[in-house]
Amino acid sequence: MATQANLNSQANDSTFPEIWDELQWRGLIALSTDEVELRAALNDGVMTYYCGFDPTAPSLHLGNLVQLLLMRRLQLAGHRPLALVGGATGLIGDPKPSSERTLNTKEIVADWVEKLGAQASRFLSFEGSNAALLVNNLDWTAPMGAIDFLRDIGKYYRVGKMLSKDAVSARLNSDAGISFTEFSYQILQGMDFLELYRRYGCTMQTGGSDQWGNLTSGTDLIHKVEGASAHILASPLITNSDGKKFGKSEGNAVWLDEDFTSSYAFYQFWLNVEDADVVDRLKVFTFLSRAEIEDLATQTTEAPYLRAGQKRLAFEVTSMVHSEEAAQAAIAASAALFGQGELQTLSEGTLRAALSELPNTSTALGAPVTQLLVDTGLSPSISAARRSIAEGGVYLNNLKVADEAATLDSVLLGQFAVLRRGKKTLAGVFVS
């Protein structure tokens, strides 16, 4: 977990006097309002800016992490962040490309607001002259009646322009269509920017480029209502070198909450980044200097088998999202699972998380090792399992299994066992 001390130390080491160039080098600018004007504004005094996070799940994910780290970089450059958790917009949901969102109860959304607010707060500093502020758009949306909303805000929106937004047009052309509820989302987001402009002098919103239509809703509204200019800074959608969307593991989202993605699984996700992508990931997801990243890029090119870039990436991001202790535990677990460390030194939580990421089975003490090899998929049959043992290629808790009739007679922490075939093929056993 990021601590205030970590953040202060980070600020001392990584402040960026020319933040626009820094963001460009890191590949974090896809779209923006007028570049010349925005660059000048970022270099001329303190800007107050915001990014919104809707509680559509009980945890933030890697897409949100891109925005949180962008916010942190801007704060390190001296600007003031407002982290908005959408207690109001989370009750509506922005339009998905294919179907209507399921509306969650007010109680669920309120609970998720608390969780997401706590997560977002870990990445920002709430001290100093540009201290961050956590805000909830339900505070100004809930007291507003429907008639006031339509008269004071809705009158500034033209339906034709709203229909032209990418998210809306995609849904209009789909079988699902779009409800008036989700159609109205862009008005609510625009009202957020207007309210933050009025309350805190907020003049810039950050977000993903795929949200450009919703982002411009606020700048347009501020211009119409206040006659003032405001800015947008949109980061690109992060994709892998093969063109696939980044941030999924085995088809599932990678969450920032330990309860949904364990710190071990989180570490392994980063460790498995392809060589072609690791430098870009280091730029976006770490605060390492240019010199450090360029050195890791050289190592990746000259000695890719060492995976120096991936190891540093996994350590840095896991330390930042969870803790340095969690990152070290993940490293120790990886080493121990492959026979390069002591399994007995791992904690129950670390071992359970690690084995849960592997092919695994549940059994009782005394189960034949050959059957465990088949049940976990390490061997296709009992006869193949026996051959593997006879050839000296099977290990139980890092001890070689010499007897084809061996059974599971000892476990770790009274409930776990690690099964390995060869040097790299692992499985977990949960003992009940």
- The fold adopted by the segment(s) 4-237 is Rossmann fold (3.40.50)
Please, are residues 194 and 182 in contact by the beta-carbon 8 Å criterion? no
CATH architecture of residue range(s) 358-432 = Roll (3.10)
Residue 398 to residue 420: CA distance in whole angstroms:
8
Structure tokens at 198: 């009025």
Structure tokens at 397: 């808790």
Per the listing, tokens 């070689």 go with 400
Residue 159 to residue 45: CA distance in whole angstroms:
37
pLDDT of residue 14: 45
Per the listing, tokens 């800016």 go with 49
Where are the domain boundaries for CATH 3.10.290.10 in the chain?
A: 358-432
The β-bridge relationship of strands 248-249 and 252-253 is antiparallel
Please, are residues 269 and 249 in contact by the beta-carbon 8 Å criterion? yes
Where are the domain boundaries for CATH 3.40.50.620 in the chain?
A: 4-237
In three state form, how does the secondary structure of 98-127 look?
CCCCCCCCHHHHHHHHHHHHHHHHCCCCCC
pLDDT of residue 5: 41
pLDDT of residue 156: 96
Query: pTM for this one?
Result: 0.89
DSSP string, 155-180: GG--HHHHHHSHHHHHHHTSSS---H
User: Which amino acid belongs to residue 346?
Assistant: L
pLDDT of residue 252: 78
State the maximum Cα–Cα separation within the chain, in Å, rounded to a whole number: 82
pLDDT tens string, the chain, 432 residues long: the values are: 444 445 544 544 445 558 999 999 999 999 999 999 999 999 888 999 999 999 999 999 999 999 999 999 999 999 999 999 999 999 998 887 778 888 999 999 999 999 999 999 999 999 999 999 999 999 999 999 999 999 999 999 999 898 988 888 888 888 888 889 999 999 999 999 999 999 999 999 999 999 998 999 999 999 999 999 999 999 999 988 888 888 766 667 899 999 999 999 999 999 999 999 999 999 999 999 999 999 999 999 999 999 999 999 999 999 999 999 999 999 999 999 988 889 999 999 899 999 998 999 999 999 999 999 999 999 999 999 999 999 999 999 999 999 999 999 989 999 999 999 998 899 999 998
Q: Does domain 240-342 have CATH number 1.10.240.10?
A: yes
